[in-house]
């Protein structure tokens, strides 16, 4: 039950900005698991696509890839 509440809170807090850029709720949740300090408020569509590819690939350090994409 606690996990569901945390997931719901994470979606509520992070999803609005990410949805505009094309990240799904699941992708946003995954980004926050890999890179909890990632700022998703101004993510472009190109960044969203690159982040999605980084998560899907599973290659190397996904957190470093995400932070690199966002900076």
Report whether pLDDT(4) > 80: no
- Compute the Cα dihedral for 64, 59, 8, 22 and give only its sign: positive
The pLDDT value recorded for residue 58 is 83
Alpha carbon separation from 4 to 9, 23, 49, 50, 71 (Å, rounded): 9, 20, 27, 28, 31
CB 15 within 8 A of CB 8: no
pLDDT per residue as tens digits for the range 17-64: 544 457 888 888 999 999 999 998 889 999 999 999 999 988 889 999
pLDDT per residue as tens digits for the range 6-24: 555 565 565 555 444 578 8
CB 9 within 8 A of CB 26: no
The pLDDT value recorded for residue 10 is 61
The pLDDT value recorded for residue 47 is 93
């Amino acid at each position: 039950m606690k996990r569901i509440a945390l997931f719901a809170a994470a979606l509520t807090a992070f999803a609005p900005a990410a949805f505009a850029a094309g990240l799904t709720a699941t992708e946003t949740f995954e980004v926050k698991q890999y890179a909890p300090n990632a700022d998703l408020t101004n993510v472009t569509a190109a960044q969203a696509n690159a982040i999605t590819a980084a998560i899907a690939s599973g290659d190397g350090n996904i957190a470093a890839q995400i932070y690199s994409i966002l900076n």
